[in-house]
C-alpha cells in the first residue's frame, strides 16, 4: 500500500476509531457529550417516532404541519409548536408571510422516504443563570449541501414545553 493511500485510509477511519475508543468512557458527562456529538457528525440521528413533547417531536410536528395538504390546517398545527414569544400578532404575520411559505415549499426536502428526518449536528443554548435554554438542530436536506438550522427552546410561558423560536426549513 502506498503512503498516500495509507494516509487517506487512516483519515477516513480515524474519527470512527476515536469514537470507538471513547465509547467505554461514556459515564463521564463531558466525554459522553463529546462522543454523542462525534457520532452525530459521523452518522447523524434519524428521527422517526420521537417522544411526545420532546424537542425532536416539536421539529417533527413542524415538518408534518408544513407538509399538510390543507395549508390552513397545517398553519394552525404549526402555530401550536411555536414558542409563546413567537405568537404575538406581528411575529405570527412574519412567520406566515415568510418562513411558513418557504417551509411549505421545502419541507418535503427534509423528509426521508419513511417520513423520518435526519439531524446532523446541534448546538446547546445556555441560560445566563445556568442550565439549558434550548438547542439549535441542523437538519439534513436532500437538495441542499448544508444542513438547515432550527432552534427549539424551553417555553416558560407554555409550562416549560419545547417550542420553536427560529427555523429556516
Each residue's pLDDT tens digit, 108-154? 999 999 999 999 999 999 988 888 899 999 999 989 889 999 999 99
Look at residue 81 and tell me whether its pLDDT is greater than 90.
Answer: yes
Report the run of H or E that residue 11 belongs to, with start and end: helix 3-22
Look at residue 5 and tell me whether its pLDDT is greater than 80.
Answer: no
What strands lie across the sheet with 132-139, from one edge to the other? 45-47, 117-126, 132-139, 148-155, 161-167
Look at residue 67 and tell me whether its pLDDT is greater than 90.
Answer: yes
Cell of 7: 494516509
Please state the rounded mean pLDDT for residues 13-40.
51
Look at residue 31 and tell me whether its pLDDT is greater than 60.
Answer: no
Task: Using alpha carbons, select from 169, 137, 164 the residue that is nearest to residue 46.
Answer: 137
Look at residue 1 and tell me whether its pLDDT is greater than 70.
Answer: no
Report the run of H or E that residue 118 belongs to, with start and end: strand 117-126
Task: Report the pLDDT value the prediction gives residue 14, as an integer from 0 to 100.
Answer: 47
Task: Report the pLDDT value the prediction gives residue 36, as an integer from 0 to 100.
Answer: 64
More confident residue, 71 or 19: 71
C-beta neighbour count of 47 within 10 angstroms: 21
Tell me the whole-structure pTM to 2 decimals. 0.75
Please state the rounded mean pLDDT for residues 76-100.
96
Amino acid at each position: 500500500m502506498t503512503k498516500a493511500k495509507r494516509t487517506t485510509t487512516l483519515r477516513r477511519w480515524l474519527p470512527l476509531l476515536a469514537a470507538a475508543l471513547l465509547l467505554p468512557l461514556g459515564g463521564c458527562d463531558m466525554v459522553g457529550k463529546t462522543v454523542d456529538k462525534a457520532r452525530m457528525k459521523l452518522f447523524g440521528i434519524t428521527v422517526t417516532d420521537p417522544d411526545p413533547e420532546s424537542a425532536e417531536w416539536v421539529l417533527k410536528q413542524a415538518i408534518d404541519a408544513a407538509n399538510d395538504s390543507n395549508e390552513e390546517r397545517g398553519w394552525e398545527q404549526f402555530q401550536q409548536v411555536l414558542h409563546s414569544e413567537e405568537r404575538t400578532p406581528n411575529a405570527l404575520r412574519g412567520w406566515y408571510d415568510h418562513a411558513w411559505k418557504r417551509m411549505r415549499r421545502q419541507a418535503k426536502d427534509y423528509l426521508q422516504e419513511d417520513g423520518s428526518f435526519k439531524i446532523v449536528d446541534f448546538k446547546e443554548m445556555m441560560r445566563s443563570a445556568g442550565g439549558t435554554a434550548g438547542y439549535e438542530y441542523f437538519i439534513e436536506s436532500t437538495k441542499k449541501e448544508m444542513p438547515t438550522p432550527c432552534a427549539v427552546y424551553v417555553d416558560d410561558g407554555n409550562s416549560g414545553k419545547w417550542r420553536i423560536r427560529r427555523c429556516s426549513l
